[in-house]
């Protein structure tokens, strides 16, 4: 199943080894992240399966500007006029003005691992080698909770990228953490709350430090950028990821 309801009016969309989330309020939707370039059809099919039209998406919010999260933003804007927002720091990254990402060489060095090799083939098919700048992206229009379905509140979580944001969803008691905090990844042997392997992070120590403010939020549902959603008090989730971080390579 490519999508699943994970909380009241919150749905996960499973792209190519990456998660996206839809928040619903009446006829209107908010999309958090947009998968790989090749995942656009999965978003459209999910929206339609839920009885909506892509035009019901009021905005797409971006946790960070890596290729596995910006994928369909240009398609959604060109085809349906859907705006995209991210943190002011991440705007230049999304526009391709600078880069803070793993390189193909980082991946090639790890292709001896079977799971990583299979993942590399899947993401290559999904557009993993294709540059995908997002010229239409803007900074969040307001501070604090956004006037969008689900009332998502951006939480700065710099580290994985300099302008990374998580989104607190107060109505659902959930946090969409992007790649600051995940629960699985094909390049990791660990299942459960964790940071991504070091080569994915612009700064792993800052990523770890960014977990501290997340632990204080009222939430008991983790909506990660990669891996299954996870129901536990967020402070416990952060503690587990912090413990695991001591073993990160
Ligand atoms: Zn990612």
CA atoms within 13 A of residue 42's CA, in its CB half-sphere: 27
User: pLDDT at residue 158 above 80?
Assistant: yes
* Model confidence band, residue 87 (pLDDT cutoffs 50, 70, 90): very high
User: pLDDT at residue 190 above 90?
Assistant: yes
Distance 201 CA to ligand 1 centre (A): 10
User: pLDDT at residue 147 above 90?
Assistant: yes
Distance 149 CA to ligand 1 centre (A): 23
Position 1 scores a pLDDT of 76
Going by C-beta distance under 8 Å and a sequence separation of 6 or more, which residues neighbour residue 121?
none
Query: Are the CB atoms for 248 and 198 separated by under 8 Å?
Result: yes
Position 104 scores a pLDDT of 86
Mean local confidence (pLDDT), 28-50: 98
Lowest-confidence segment of 78-82, 106-110, 219-223 by average pLDDT? 106-110
User: pLDDT at residue 240 above 80?
Assistant: yes
User: pLDDT at residue 76 above 80?
Assistant: yes
Position 103 scores a pLDDT of 87
* Model confidence band, residue 33 (pLDDT cutoffs 50, 70, 90): very high
With vertex at residue 187, the alpha carbon angle to CA 183 and CA 188, rounded to the nearest 5 degrees, is 50
Distance 167 CA to ligand 1 centre (A): 15
* Model confidence band, residue 90 (pLDDT cutoffs 50, 70, 90): very high
The CATH number of the domain where 177 resides is what?
3.60.15.10
Position 107 scores a pLDDT of 87
User: What is the sign, positive or negative, of the torsion defined by CA atoms of 45, 161, 231, 16?
Assistant: positive
Share of the chain above pLDDT 90, in %: 94
Distance 179 CA to ligand 1 centre (A): 5
User: pLDDT at residue 125 above 90?
Assistant: yes
**What does the alpha-carbon distance between residue 65 and residue 83 come to, in Å, rounded to a whole number?**
15
Position 14 scores a pLDDT of 98
Q: How many domains does the chain have?
A: 1
Across 131-167, b (16+ Cβ under 10 Å) vs e yields ebebeebeebeeeeebebbbbbbbbbbbbbbbbbbbb
* Model confidence band, residue 62 (pLDDT cutoffs 50, 70, 90): very high
Distance 233 CA to ligand 1 centre (A): 23
With vertex at residue 42, the alpha carbon angle to CA 37 and CA 46, rounded to the nearest 5 degrees, is 145
Distance 119 CA to ligand 1 centre (A): 12
State both tokens at 130.
């294709």
Distance 27 CA to ligand 1 centre (A): 29
- 3-class secondary structure for the chain? CCEEEEECCEEEEECCCCEEEEEEECCEEEEECCCCHHHHHHHHHHHHHCCCCHHHEEEEECCCCCHHHHCCHHHHHHHHCCCEEECHHHHHHHCCCCCCCCCHHHHHCCCCCHHHHHHHHHHHHCCCCCCCCCCCCEECCCCCCCCCCCCCEEEECCCCCCCCEEEEECCCCEEEEECCCECCCCCCCCCCCECCCHHHCCCHHHHHHCHHHHHCCCCCEEEECCCCCEECCHHHHHHHHHHHHCCCC
Share of the chain above pLDDT 70, in %: 100
Distance 56 CA to ligand 1 centre (A): 25
Question: What is the residue range of 99's domain?
Answer: 3-245
User: pLDDT at residue 36 above 90?
Assistant: yes
Distance 38 CA to ligand 1 centre (A): 15
Mean local confidence (pLDDT), 89-110: 93
User: pLDDT at residue 23 above 90?
Assistant: yes
Distance 107 CA to ligand 1 centre (A): 14
Residues surrounding ion ligand 1 at CB below 5 Å = 68, 179, 225
Distance 37 CA to ligand 1 centre (A): 13
User: pLDDT at residue 212 above 90?
Assistant: yes
Distance 18 CA to ligand 1 centre (A): 6
Query: Are the CB atoms for 193 and 234 separated by under 8 Å?
Result: no
């Amino acid at each position: 199943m490519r999508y699943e309801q994970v909380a009241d009016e919150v749905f996960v969309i499973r792209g190519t080894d990456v998660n996206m989330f839809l928040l619903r309020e009446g006829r209107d939707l908010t999309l958090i992240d947009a998968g790989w370039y090749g995942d656009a059809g999965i978003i459209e099919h999910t929206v339609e399966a839920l009885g909506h039209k892509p035009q019901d998406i009021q905005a797409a919010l971006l946790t960070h500007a890596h290729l596995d999260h910006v994928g369909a933003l240009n398609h959604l804007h060109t085809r349906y006029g859907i705006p995209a927002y991210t943190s002011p720091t991440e705007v230049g990254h999304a526009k391709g003005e600078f880069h803070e990402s793993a390189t193909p060489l980082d991946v090639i060095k790890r292709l001896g691992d079977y799971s990583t090799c299979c993942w590399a083939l899947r993401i290559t098919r999904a557009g993993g080698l294709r540059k995908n700048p997002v010229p239409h992206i803007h900074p969040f229009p307001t501070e604090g909770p956004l006037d969008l379905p689900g009332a998502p509140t951006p939480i700065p979580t710099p580290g994985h990228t300099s302008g990374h944001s998580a989104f607190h969803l107060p109505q659902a008691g959930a946090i969409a953490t992007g790649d600051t905090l995940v629960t699985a990844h094909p390049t990791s042997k660990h299942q459960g709350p964790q940071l991504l392997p070091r080569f994915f992070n612009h700064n792993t120590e800052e990523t770890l430090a960014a977990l501290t403010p997340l632990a204080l939020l009222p939430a008991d549902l983790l909506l990660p950028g990669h891996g299954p959603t996870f129901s536990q008090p967020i402070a416990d989730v952060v503690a587990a990821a912090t413990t695991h971080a001591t073993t990160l390579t």
